[in-house]
Amino acid sequence: METQKRQSIDLLNVLKYLMVLVFLAYIVFLVSRESADDVPVKTLQENVIKAGTEEGMTKGTTQDLKRYYGLNAQDYDGVALYIPNDVMSVNELLIIKLKDESQAEQVEAAAKERLKTQKTSFEGYGAKQTKLLESAVLDTKGEYVLLAVSENADEMAGAFQKSL
């Protein structure tokens, strides 16, 4: 009787410790997940540019964001924009940190509209530009949206994903 009681107490102690370990693992998971949401846009921008290139682009302003995308920079937690540096270039980079994931649809729609406008502009005579626009990467991860139009768009998207 004494041995049976002792075995059930030992089993309960093991189960308690196991529950504590599972709880701690869950907390670590939640904390590590939250930290991805705190990546500054500047860090993302640096990592994405490092993976690709700034060639054919120049840093855009909040007015450029409004002009090309119809978006207001103040509506978001952070924006990095690079626009074509001449009329025959289509290289472009947009990174936006949303205030809320519900904004993603609006930003994606604006990016798709920008691509559509650019394709229309170069249709028929800008084969190289049209090819770059066709292979553009539009990616959303959590509260971040990326649009990359470049020969290195896939590498830029990979750096974007790794940074988050």
Cα(62)–Cα(56) distance, integer angstroms: 19
Token look-up 């937690």 returns: 77
d(CA 90, CA 68): 12
Do 76 and 97 form a contact (C-beta atoms < 8 A)?
A: yes
Q: Residue 9 above 80 pLDDT?
A: no
**Residue pLDDT, tens place only, 14-47:** 888 888 888 777 777 766 654 455 789 999 999 9
Q: What does the pLDDT look like over 49-71, one tens digit per residue?
A: 999 988 889 999 999 999 999 99
The stretches of 37-152 forming alpha helices (DSSP H) are: 41-51, 62-69, 104-122, 127-134
Rounded mean pLDDT, 70-83: 97
Rounded Cα distance between 132 and 161, Å, is 20
Tens of pLDDT, residue by residue over 114-141, are 999 999 999 888 899 999 999 999 999 9
Q: 140 burial class (0-12, 13-18, 19+ CB within 10 angstroms)?
A: middle
pLDDT value at residue 29: 73
pLDDT at residue 68 in the model: 97
Residue where the block lists tokens 């995308």: 69
pTM of the model: 0.78
What are the domain boundaries of the chain? 1-36, 39-163
**Furthest-apart CA atoms within the chain: distance in Å:** 91
Nearby residues of 34 by Cβ (< 8 Å), 6 or more positions away: none
Parallel/antiparallel/unpaired status of strands 78-84 and 57-59: antiparallel
For the cut 80, the answer to whether the pLDDT of residue 108 exceeds it is: yes
